[in-house]
Amino acid sequence: MNWGRIARWTVPVGVVLVGVYLLNASWLAPVPHGKVRLLAHRGVHQSFDLRGVQRDTCTATRIRPPIAREIENTIPSMRAAFAAGADVVELDVHGTTDGQLAVFHDWTLDCRTNGHGVTHTHSMAYLKTLDVGYGYTADGGKTFPLRGHGVGLLPSLGEVFAAFPQGRFLVNYKSNDAHEGDLLADLLKAHPEWRDRVWAVYGGTRPTERAIALIAGMRGYTRETLSRCLLPYAAFGWTGYLPEGCRNTLVPLPVNFAEWLPGWPNRLQARLHDAGSMMVLYGPYHRGDGGTTGFDSAEDIARIPPGFDGIVSTNEIETIAPLVRPHNL
């Protein structure tokens, strides 16, 4: 065996591997001195079973006790979330036939409300007549504990902004209609004092990109922007390369994906910070079980790295906020 020839190959390869390791070693990067900020997904709302949830699953029929007083995407729900410690509240929007943005999750009205049909085919005036607590049941339809308590609670986006002078919101476009980006831009143009209410936008590619293009300083993300960031970073990030798609943006990551990326956690955070970006950390992604979860338990919180300088999404803001405060210390 020619040991000299083997050495000529193994030594350079070893040097390269050591260099790659040191380049991505999280322990060699400075520990961020950040503060975990909390994103309350849909405000305070009913928890439900995520197993097997698909895009068209009626989750109002899958809620679990105890029954919360609040109903998602309503002003009381958002007020409770901010009071519990949320830094940002996520809400969902649809365009209406009278040119407004209605705050409501579902593509159709039939699951949660006493209305029918596709949400965006109705006027804001009509949507205001509905009971958004109508369809919720925890016992297979034997009882409907929120029925009658949600009449008139479906708000317009303008009503939400007016109700929370200090609030910050992540606006989720539920459609792919670019015109909805114009609706948000027009709303903020008419009320420039509301610009700071919008922390970011995401969801449908066309309205998200339209809003970013029309509103100065607006940031956001879509599946496409995430792919432009994460796919090349996962492939080449070990070299120290940060793709253009990861710069000056928000980078949403399920924690079980983030933990496998080059430089996680400190080196990756430093690279994003230096590129003007912020990480939005979600709970583990489980294919076939409702997609990405939130940080919704003490076990989830334990996966947040020390000094994490980003924002963490939760579906259980009232439970999680008290656990995160000591984490920040």
Q: Give the separation between CA 248 and CA 228, rounded to whole angstroms.
A: 13
pLDDT tens for 92-132 read: 999 999 999 999 999 999 999 999 999 999 999 999 999 99
- Given this model, what pLDDT does residue 199 score? 98
Q: Which structure tokens are listed for 57?
A: 């699953």
pLDDT digits (tens, 9 = 90+) for 275-284: 999 999 999 8
Query: Could you tell me the pLDDT band of residue 325, with boundaries at 50, 70 and 90?
Result: confident
Q: Please, what is the average pLDDT of the chain? A: 89
Structure token digits, residue 193: 């004092």
pLDDT at residue number 2: 54
Instruction: Kindly state the DSSP code that residue 67 receives in the 8-state scheme.
Output: P
pLDDT at 289: 58
Alpha helix (H) residue ranges in the chain: 3-24, 75-84, 124-127, 157-163, 179-190, 205-214, 223-236, 255-258, 266-274, 298-301, 317-328
Residues 124, 160 contacting (CB under 8 angstroms): no
Q: Residue 114: how many CB atoms within 10 A of its CB?
A: 17
| Percentage helix, strand, coil for the chain under 3-state DSSP, each rounded to 5 | 40, 15, 45
Tell me the pLDDT band of 306, cut-offs 50, 70 and 90: confident
Highest mean pLDDT among 20-24, 51-55, 315-319: 315-319
Alpha-carbon distance of 157 to 168, in angstroms, equals: 12
Q: At what angle do helices 179-190 and 205-214 cross, to 10 degrees?
A: 30
Say what the pLDDT of residue 25 is.
55
CB-side exposure of 201: number of CA atoms within 13 Å? 31
The answer, yes or no, to whether residue 11 has pLDDT greater than 60, is no
| Calpha distance 142→195 (Å, rounded) | 44
Under DSSP, is residue 248 helix (H, G, I), strand (E, B) or coil?
Answer: coil
pTM: predicted TM-score of the whole model, two decimal places: 0.91
Least confident of 7-16, 73-82, 179-188: 7-16
Q: Round to whole Å and give the CA distance between 21 and 316.
A: 37
Percent of the chain whose pLDDT exceeds 90: 76
